[in-house]
Structure formats: structure tokens, C-alpha cells
Amino acid sequence: MKRFLLIAILVQLILVVPNRVAAKYDFVVAGIYYAVLSMQDKTCTVVNPSAPNRSNYSGSIIIPSTIQYNGRSFMVKEISERAFYYSTITDVDIPGSVDKIRASAFLHSKNLKRITIREGTRIIEREAFAGCSALKTLILPNTIQSIGIRAFHALDGDYGQTLRIPSSCKFIDNSALPKGAYELYLMPSKSSIVIEDGNFDNKPIIHIGRNIDNKQNQYSLLSFKTLVEFYGECTRIPNLYVSSNQERTKAEDPVEKLIIGEKVTSIHDLSWFFIKNIQIHSDIPPRCEGDFSNSTYARAILSVPNSSVYKQDPHWKKFWNIKEVPSLLRTSQVKASENGNNKVKTANFNAKQNKNDIVSKHDKEIIVPLTVKRGESLVKDGYEIFDAIGYKKVMLFGVEINGETKLGFVNGYIEVLVEPVFDDATSQSYYGMWCVKRNGRWGAYDETIRKLTIECQYDWMGYWTKGEDGVIKVEVEKDGKRFWIDKKGNRI
């Protein structure tokens, strides 16, 4: 009887196990394999026909949002688990129709240099892009809600020197973000985000524009020489600590600067490390629910709008070096005339400081007054502007003109470089180049020479990248044809 049961179990394993690991696909279109998710909804997913073995996909991959097969149309809703596992693809364009990028979808695709994820994608699962060590360009759309554990683990690219986590994101799992010394933004949102431990090591500049929630309420957030800013919609600073060599950090390797925005009302325990400079943008002292280190109390420079208020506060008066800087209190307004020209004339972003310090004059004017606060969004979709303390030399700004948002550029002193005439733009520059859109066509603005070097003439424009030959280039589309151009608009 026992022998009979054992044989029966073995037969079941032989019959069942191959079905679990065998590659499953229903049709092939233009070299990409698909499996049907729902025949009723006409949806499908990209699959690896060799799964669980290495994928045979290679070169440049453009995944369409919809495909046609035998007279039927299917929407591409997912990229399945291990779809591009160990592939040799070099770049991939993922459409907004893709809702989820499944676990290990691009795991160890070591030739992958560029990922374009269009708006619409919500979830990136665990290890989706882990081990893609050649990756240099990473853009996360404003629809991302969750980034799984080790999703971008073991990456070390420059990512255009900046990585922005969109305001739509609600969860970042442990070790999900790439390694590397790039500037990191958590874009402003009134909703909080859950961030597991270990995501912010070795980031030289961190901007946190929203509240962070975590069950343990403790983060390996800061590294030596880091500048961290809490701005935008952030109202509380969580417990922070430096993950390694903490005792030495207290005395010798300071966190370079802590910037506390005007909406921050509470600060938790920051006693694990020495902070060299603290800058607060509110004349109401935030409530301290924890302590700073003794080294911070004794040696830090605390810059505040009103020193007398902070010196009377029972917690902040512990600081030995309190410096009054009235300009830190910023409730700013763009002053506009009403002659109907709809262009920027003057921008006074500091009513409490000598206005000549950061006031620009331009020969055009705007019709709609615009009120902004430091670090807050000027227009929808996460476009931001910073004041004279800003770290970017060229920044986007926007105004509402006749019910439409128009975008332009300013420098770090809020001096207008380009009037607000564009309908859309990339949220950051790559290799000094901005993609801008006007009248339905794309062009490019070169921030190094501060000129529109490529007129708005293309139907589509990708993200600027640097080739192996060192040439900075971008892929464009015009009249149904795709090709590459350089910074001067010359076809490559």
C-alpha cells in the first residue's frame, strides 16, 4: 500500500511540476511573447518563453500599449515575472498601459542602460530591476505607488544625478532604491509614505517633501556629509540615525546640514549624530519630542528667523550658537501688472529681506498674480521652484494663464531665464538638457548656455543620455520615424 502511494505521488509530481515551470505564451507579435491575462477584458502580459531559464530578448525593446493578433486587439497590462531575466537588452520603453512590473522581471539584465516607464504604471515588484548594473537613466512616473524590496538593488549609475520619488508613491520596501551618490527627492504630498529601513544610505543630498511612516519609526537615513531637507508638505521629522560608525560620527563626521521647512511642527530623536548646521524656516519653534546630540548643542550653528523666540524656548535654548537670519521666513509673492501681456516681469521672493537681493527684472509682464512659499509646488504635477538657497542653477516654474499652466525657467536667484511659454517639460534636466513641449511638439533647452537649442518640432522625445562615445544625445520621432540627435539638433 505504501509503495502504491509513493508511486502515485511520484506520477503526480512528474505530471504537475513541468506545468509549473514550463514557459507559457499564447502568441508572438514583433518578436515579443505574450500570454493572455483575460480574454474577456482583452488584456495580456509580456512573458519569457524560456522561463524559468534566461530570457533570449536582446537589443532595444519598445513594448506597445496594445497589440493586434488575428484581428483581435489586446492591451498590455503587465510584464510578467522573469520576462527579461538575464536578458541582453540595452534599453526598454514601458507603456503606461502596464500596471505592474512583476518580480525579477529584468533581474540581472546587465546590458540594460536605460529604462523609460510611462505614466500609468503603479507597481514595481521585488527585484524587478535588481542587478541591472549598467543602468544610467532611471525615470519614475508620477503614477508609481509601490516599489518592492530590492527593486533596484545592486545598481550604481548616476541616474542623471537626481532621482525623484513621485508624490503618488505610498510604499518603498527595504533596499529598494539604487545605490550611488545621487540627489534624492521625495516629492511633496499631503499623504504619508511608508519607507522601510536602509533606503537612504550614501545619498549626499536628500529632500523629503512629505511625512514618513514606519512601524519601527527609525531609519538608516543619513550618511557622513549629507545635506537633508524637510520641506513641502512635511510636518514631522522622524527618528534618524547614521547606520555605521555612530560614535565616531557624533564627534568627527557631521551631517553637513539639516534644513527644516516652515510646515514642520514636530521633531523626534536626532541624538545619534552630530549636525554641523541647522536651518529653520519658521518663526514658531517646532516641538522637540527627542534630543539632539551634545556635540550638536555645543557646536552646531542654528539659523532661525527670530533668535529671541528660539532662545526662550525650553528646548531650542540649549543650543550654544543661535544665529538670527530674518530671510529664512519666506512668504513670497510674484508681483504682476495687468496689461495683458501674460509674461513675467518681477519676482519678489523675500518680503522680509532687502528686496534688491533676489528680485529680477524682465521686460515682459504677467496677468495672473502668483503666490508661492519656499519649497512648495507652484503648479500641479510636482513641478517645483526653490529660492536663492536652491541647489539647482536652472529650475522650472509655472503660472496659470487663462486657465492653462505654462512653464518657464528661472535660475537659483529666481531671475527669469525663459518666459512661461511651454505646455509641458521633463521634471528635471539630464546632462544639462531639458525636454520642453510647445504647441504639441517637443524641443530642448540647454541649461549650460541657457538657450532653446532645439526648436519644438518633434512628435516625441525620449530622455537625454550619454553614449559610449561620450556624445550626449536623445531619441526623437518625427513623421513616424525615430532617430537620434545631439545637443545641437544634428542627426546622428
**pLDDT at position 302:** 96
Over residues 110-127, the mean pLDDT reads: 91
Over residues 233-243, the mean pLDDT reads: 79
Q: How confident is the model at residue 418 (pLDDT cuts 50, 70, 90)?
A: confident
Cα 370 to Cα 394: distance, rounded to the nearest angstrom:
20
Over residues 376-398, the mean pLDDT reads: 43
**pLDDT at position 45:** 97
Cα 299 to Cα 314: distance, rounded to the nearest angstrom:
18
DSSP state of 237: E
Q: How confident is the model at residue 360 (pLDDT cuts 50, 70, 90)?
A: very low
**Which DSSP helix (H) or strand (E) runs through 19?**
helix 2-21
Q: How confident is the model at residue 56 (pLDDT cuts 50, 70, 90)?
A: very high
**pLDDT at position 231:** 86
Output 23 or 388, whichever has higher pLDDT: 23
Is the pLDDT at 355 greater than 70? The verdict is no
CB hemisphere CA count around 13 (13 angstroms)? 6
Q: How confident is the model at residue 252 (pLDDT cuts 50, 70, 90)?
A: low
Window from 293-302, 371-380, 450-459 with minimum mean pLDDT: 371-380
CA-closest candidate to residue 394, choices 452, 350, 434, 363? 434
Window from 87-91, 287-291, 447-451 with minimum mean pLDDT: 447-451
pTM over 0.75: no
The SS3 assignment for 439 reads: coil
* Count of beta carbons in the 10 Å neighbourhood of residue 39: 11
Output 125 or 16, whichever has higher pLDDT: 125
Over residues 47-58, the mean pLDDT reads: 90
In the chain, the percentage of residues whose pLDDT exceeds 90 is: 35
* Average pLDDT taken over every residue of the chain: 76
Is the pLDDT at 251 greater than 80? The verdict is no
Asked whether 418 and 436 are in contact (CB, 8 A), the reply is: no
Each residue's pLDDT tens digit, 183-225:
788 888 888 988 876 567 667 788 888 998 866 555 555 565 6
Q: How confident is the model at residue 336 (pLDDT cuts 50, 70, 90)?
A: very low
**pLDDT at position 349:** 31
**pLDDT at position 13:** 43
**pLDDT at position 162:** 67
**CA quadruple 121, 122, 128, 131: dihedral sign:** positive
DSSP state of 141: -
Alpha carbon 190 to chain centroid distance?
17
Cell digits for 442?
A: 517637443
Window from 285-299, 373-387, 407-421 with minimum mean pLDDT: 373-387
